[in-house]
Amino acid sequence: MMYFWLILGLITLIVAGEFLVRGAVGIAKRFHISTLVIGMTVISFGTSAPELLVCLDAAMSGHPEIAIGNVVGSNIANIALVLGLTVLILPIVVDRNSKRIDWPMMMLATILFTLFAWDGEIQRYEGIILFVLLVAFTYWLIRNSRRKTKKELAAAAIESDEEEDEEIAKVKDKPILSVGYLLLGLVGLFFGAEWLVHGAIDIATYFGMEERIIAVTVVAFGTSVPELITSGMAALKGETDISIGNLIGSNVFNIMAVIGLTSIVHPIEVSDAIIASDLWWMIAIAVGLLPLMIIGKKIGRFKGALLLGTYIAYIAILVISIMNSGDADITAINNL
């Protein structure tokens, strides 16, 4: 049965990703918001909903390692795995705003998260700080994008009023359909991720994996599948702004909303193992993304392979640590 849920979740996520991208592009045109901002906000928030639900449930049920490990593991997977696979499908030309605004915001979120986690617990007031910053950033992002897009439309209208009117008319004909696609995609991602994570956890538990390892690998990968499907679909459709915006936005949302809201509901303990290892991987991958964005005109397949190799190295080191831990436990038992 656990394999059934895994397969059902994956199929649902693929179909939902198609609807989500289609609806998001329509809404971006209708409300004069760039696809990059739509990726950073609506899509990234929607694809991060599984992380939020998993973390809230884990924190409330006394499994803080699942909550923290899920976010840290998802942020690692979003950049190293999901972006790596996405640019292998289609190289991404990075928008200037991604370098000047989105990446710095992701780094700010990462640094704040590290500082708050350093004492072993994320308190309620720290969660409030994270969430308020996210709300302010999202408001500024949407307002700034609308203003810029309207200026571009006005300039284009001067050159060709007839063509612009025709384009706007086409977009206005289908706003409800676009919203319907978006909602259907979000609902599909929610249930698909839940089924996939449910199946994945059952399989991992069956094979005897410890809680932290399940969180940063199986659960993190499962809750990152919506980002993987959405970014892959966007890349195939040529909407590369949605791909990069979705991934960076998801990392910001994971920290500022998922950790922020979860710690407001219930303070979250952070284990020494996560601080000593996984947190540093998350920081290193976030920092390493910048040179990949600014060197060259695009994030191409070579850089994608480099990112993917980094993720494989991270998982390999985790597996080795599990094996060493297992050997240590056996030695300790024999010494008794």
SS (H, E, C) 90-152: CCECCCHHHHHHHHHHHHHHHHHHHHHHCCCEECHHHHHHHHHHHHHHHHHHHHHHHHHHHHH
* 135-147 pLDDT tens trace: 998 888 878 777 7
pLDDT at residue 185, rounded to an integer:
77
pLDDT at 2: 67
Residues facing 92 on adjacent strands: 299
Tell me which architecture the domain covering 2-315 has in CATH: Up-down Bundle (1.20)
Residue segments in the chain with a per-residue pLDDT below the cut of 50: 156-172, 328-336
- Residue 317's CB is within 10 A of a number of other CB atoms, namely 12
DSSP SS3 for 268: strand
The position carrying tokens 């998801």 is: 250
What are residue 93's phi and psi, to 5 degrees?
A: -85, 120
Distance CA 182, CA 236 (A): 18
In angstroms, the Cα distances linking 258 to 65, 66, 207 are: 14, 13, 28
Calpha distance 185→13 (Å, rounded): 8
The H or E element containing residue 269 is: strand 268-269
Contact 222, 47 (CB under 8 A): no
CA angle 194, 220, 52 (to 5 degrees): 60
Distances in Å between the alpha carbon of 31 and those of 34, 96, 167, 240? Answer: 9, 22, 13, 19
pLDDT at 191: 79
pLDDT tens digits along 74-110: 899 889 988 998 888 888 888 787 788 889 999 999 9
Distance, in Å, from the CA atom of 322 to the CA atom of 324, rounded to the nearest integer, reads 5
Burial class for 117, CB neighbours closer than 10 Å (0-12, 13-18, 19+) = buried
pLDDT value for 139: 85
Q: Which residues, 6 or more positions from 177, have their beta carbon under 8 angstroms from its beta carbon?
A: 26
For residue 299, give both structure tokens: 């994030």
pLDDT digits (tens, 9 = 90+) for 22-66: 777 677 667 666 766 776 666 677 666 666 766 777 677 676 667
Give the pLDDT score at 331: 44
